[in-house]
């Protein structure tokens, strides 16, 4: 079955530091890949997505590239802010007619001023 | 964008009670989902629905049931609440990507 493995947290960075959160996946076929973010006390929000190999998703300064050869979708940001403190989830959709999402366990990011 | 509303942010229920968690979407999406979120375990799919009166089990359906009588409403039912069902419950709707509700934090005492 499908699975997502992302780096365990928590991750603590200083403001303006470079961020990488690793995500690898196992899936049959050609999944779509997603990063969701959950701010404290809220539900999940879609941060970015990529639907095919070599696509780059980007939003709010975050980027991730769909690497089929390494089955990875690592999240990066060049300069984090305190407001980026949240839990980040990597997810994949197996496609087909049901669009079920499989999530990683989440990575807590704390950015200190 | 689809908006997803969960009726309660916080609930406290007693062991053995029947509990209803309600979720409503404001657009015409066929797909709706219920997840639970627990520390260290991430999000786990309980049930999902492709259309009215259609439902399928997710990865952890035991102890839960669902109801989808109208397209916009997807209810999660805990038939007899137990303490191990204390969790954050998240409803979502969508197809290629989801819109999530704000969650219901359920405590079973």
- CA B101, A46, A71: angle at the middle one, nearest 5? 130
Is A29 touching B (CB cutoff 8 A)?
Answer: no
| Yes or no, beta carbons of B98 and A100 under 8 Å apart | no
Between chains, do A44 and B98 touch, taking CB under 8 Å as contact? yes
A33 pLDDT higher than 90: yes
**DSSP letter at A3?**
E
Tell whether the torsion through CA atoms of B36, A108, A47 and A105 is positive or negative.
negative
Instruction: Give the per-residue pLDDT at B31.
Output: 92
Q: Out of B4, B43, B95, whose CB is closest to A99?
A: B95
H/E stretch holding A91: strand A86-93
Other C-beta atoms closer than 10 Å to the C-beta of B35 total: 27
Q: What is the DSSP letter of B7?
A: S
Among candidates A79, A94, A101, which has minimal Cα distance to A13?
A: A79
What per-residue confidence (pLDDT) applies to B2?
64
The predicted model gives A24-51 an average pLDDT of: 92
Asked if residues A106 and A88 have their Cβ atoms less than 8 Å apart, the reply is yes
| B68-74 contacts at long range (C-beta below 8 A, 24 or more positions apart) | B68/B32, B71/B28, B71/B29, B71/B30, B72/B24, B72/B25, B72/B26, B72/B28, B73/B22, B73/B23, B73/B24, B74/B23, B74/B25, B74/B32, B74/B33, B74/B34, B74/B49
- Is the pLDDT at A27 greater than 70? The verdict is yes
Q: Express each pLDDT in B3-52 by its tens digit.
A: 999 989 999 999 999 999 999 999 888 999 999 999 888 899 999 999 99
Which chain B residues contact residue A32 at CB under 8 A?
96
Query: How do residues A73-103 score in pLDDT, each as one tens digit?
Result: 999 999 999 999 999 999 998 765 557 888 9
User: Testing the interface with A: which of B96, B101, B105 to mutate, by most A Cβ within 10 A?
Assistant: B96
């Amino acid at each position: 079955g499908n699975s997502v493995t992302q780096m365990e947290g928590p991750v603590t960075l200083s403001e303006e530091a470079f961020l990488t959160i690793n995500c690898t996946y196992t899936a049959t076929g050609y999944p779509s890949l997603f990063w969701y973010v959950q701010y404290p006390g809220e539900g999940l929000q879609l941060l970015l997505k990529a639907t095919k190999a070599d696509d780059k998703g980007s939003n709010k300064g975050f980027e991730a590239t769909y690497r089929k050869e390494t089955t990875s979708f690592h999240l990066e940001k060049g300069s984090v802010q305190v407001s980026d403190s949240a839990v980040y989830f990597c997810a994949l959709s197996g496609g087909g007619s049901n669009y079920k999402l499989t999530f990683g366990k989440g990575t807590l990011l704390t950015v200190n001023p | 964008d689809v908006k997803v509303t969960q009726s309660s942010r916080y609930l406290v229920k007693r062991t053995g009670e029947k509990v209803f968690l309600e979720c409503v979407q404001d657009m015409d999406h066929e797909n709706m989902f219920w997840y639970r979120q627990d520390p260290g375990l991430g999000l786990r799919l309980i049930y999902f629905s492709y259309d009215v009166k259609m439902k399928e089990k997710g990865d952890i359906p035991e102890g839960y049931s669902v109801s989808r009588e109208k397209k916009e409403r997807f209810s999660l039912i805990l038939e007899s609440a137990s303490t191990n069902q204390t969790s954050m419950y998240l409803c979502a709707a969508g197809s290629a990507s989801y819109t999530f509700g704000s969650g219901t934090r359920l405590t079973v005492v």
